Amino acid sequence: MRRNRACATALTILLGTASMVSNSSAQAPRYDLLLNGGHVIDPANHLDSVMDVAVVKGKIAAVEANIPPGQAGKVVDVSGLYVTPGLIDIHFHVGHGGAPVNWFAPEARSHTAPLGVPADIALQGGVTTLVDAGSAGADTFLQEKEEVIDHAKVRVLAFLNIVANGMNGGLEQTVDQMDPKRCAETIARYPDVIVGVKTAHYWTSDPWDAGHTPWAAVDRAEECGRAAGVPVMFDFWPRPDRPYADLILTKMRPGDIHTHVFAQQFPIILPSGEINPILAEARERGVIFDVGHGAGSFWFRNAVPAVKQGFIPDSMSTDLHMGDLNLISMTEVISKFLAMGVPLEDLIRRSTVNPAREIRRPELGTLSVGEDADIAVLEELHGRFSYIDCGFARMDADVKLVARMTIRGGRIVYDPSGLSMVPWEKARPQYFTTPVLGNSTPAKADDYPRQ
């Protein structure tokens, strides 16, 4: 009898435990984060409709209509907003480059300040991946990696400058610094981070001499690109004996990237007002055209007629750097093209899947299930807005795109309006506690990973 009662008691405990496990499993959220009710634009997967996006352990877990909110630990209502893959800015500047640490001192080799801005500023524009456009070369790349790349919240990749010292070190015109072998060896050493070669600023006005021939920087950058098996990005100034047509129709290989395409120095628009046919010819060859807006590389007089005639750069990019404080984000660049009449879906394509393809990282720029949860939540505003170009001309418009929230690897890293946050009055009790010591757990309304 006692044995029967003992067996019954054990069975009751076992069943109770099983029930608790079952209930616990039923109550555990299936997803960490659910973006509910937004308009998903994911060109890589041909999605352009209202859908929900779910995240688990930093990865995209589902992109479907009507995912039950009860299945997620954190639900963010994004109805009325656009949900896209995290944007990719392939022309950005971080770190010191070639500028010496003591650039401000009288004895410094160069007195030009570093170009780089803090990498995580890019998050304010919905960018989750940026590519430094040649700030560092073979001699200075390790410093950039240790100073910026290894610590940024945003993903940072890089084009390696063909000049070993990089930019702003006073050596950009020194042809001996342009060593294709050292360049290729450095790329081979950091294949996960370096995506290509950059040449820029070479001999734009001085007379040619024995040490400075017209195509020295271009030819050496291409030699490195071929040896390393990566594309070259060109920042180029044409001259009578170094024609623009020769660059894009002869020198550049398929997959190479011409940045600053709407800069003042390029004959994009003919005197007749028609777009220069060499652009279509170069594109047919496989040449990539990138915006690279910057402080001196975007003119409405080139961009507006070109866009009206159907020529839109393959990729959007900011060329954000310390000399460029009027342009603050990737969404500002996209907004200018929205104002010119380019559809948003097309611009998202040119800010996600296209640049991912250009830098040969097809796993980026997508909301595919299993990939990193890099997500931008964007809002299209309508009202009275104005935009400027690098010639200090203005364009008025009635549309503007802004980033409301940026998610990098499942973490909410930018949310200035509190889209993902609860009203402070409804915060959990822990939020209302007063910490005792400086290292006490901060009083937070929730535990969702943000920084």
- Domains, the chain, ranges and CATH? 87-368 (3.20.20.140)
For residues 260 and 303, the answer to whether their CB atoms sit within 8 Å is no
Pairing of strands 47-56, 31-42: antiparallel
Task: Residue 417: name the closest of 431, 402, 434, 428 by CA.
Answer: 402
pTM reported for the whole predicted model: 0.93
> In the structure encoding, which two tokens stand for residue 249, read together?
């129709």
- Residue by residue, DSSP assigns 50-106 as EEEEEEETTEEEEEES---GGGEEEEEE-TTSEEEEPEEEEEE--S-TT--TTTTST
pLDDT digits (tens, 9 = 90+) for 24-75: 445 789 999 999 999 999 999 999 999 999 999 999 999 999 999 999 999 9
> In the structure encoding, which two tokens stand for residue 347, read together?
């611009």
Task: Residue 190: name the closest of 132, 239, 266, 243 by CA.
Answer: 132
Tens of pLDDT, residue by residue, the chain (451 residues): 444 444 444 434 344 444 444 444 457 899 999 999 999 999 999 999 999 999 999 999 999 999 999 999 999 999 999 999 999 999 999 999 999 889 999 989 899 999 999 999 999 999 999 999 999 999 999 999 999 999 999 999 999 999 999 999 999 999 999 999 999 999 999 999 999 999 999 999 999 999 999 999 999 999 999 999 999 999 999 999 999 999 999 999 999 999 999 999 999 999 999 999 999 999 999 999 999 999 999 999 999 999 999 999 999 999 999 988 787 799 999 999 999 999 999 999 999 999 999 999 999 999 999 999 999 999 999 999 999 999 999 999 999 999 999 999 999 999 999 999 999 999 999 999 998 888 888 999 998 998 7
Confidence at residue 126, expressed as pLDDT on a 0 to 100 scale: 98
Confidence at residue 325, expressed as pLDDT on a 0 to 100 scale: 76
As a whole number of angstroms, the distance between CA 436 and CA 415 comes to 28
Task: Residue 173: name the closest of 145, 202, 213, 214 by CA.
Answer: 202
As a whole number of angstroms, the distance between CA 420 and CA 400 comes to 22
Confidence at residue 21, expressed as pLDDT on a 0 to 100 scale: 42
User: In 138-185, which ranges are E strands?
Assistant: 155-161
pLDDT digits (tens, 9 = 90+) for 98-120: 998 899 999 898 999 999 999 99
Task: Residue 315: name the closest of 264, 342, 267, 355 by CA.
Answer: 355
As a whole number of angstroms, the distance between CA 57 and CA 139 comes to 37
Look-up of token digits 């600053």: 260
User: Helices then strands (H, E): number in the chain?
Assistant: 10, 15
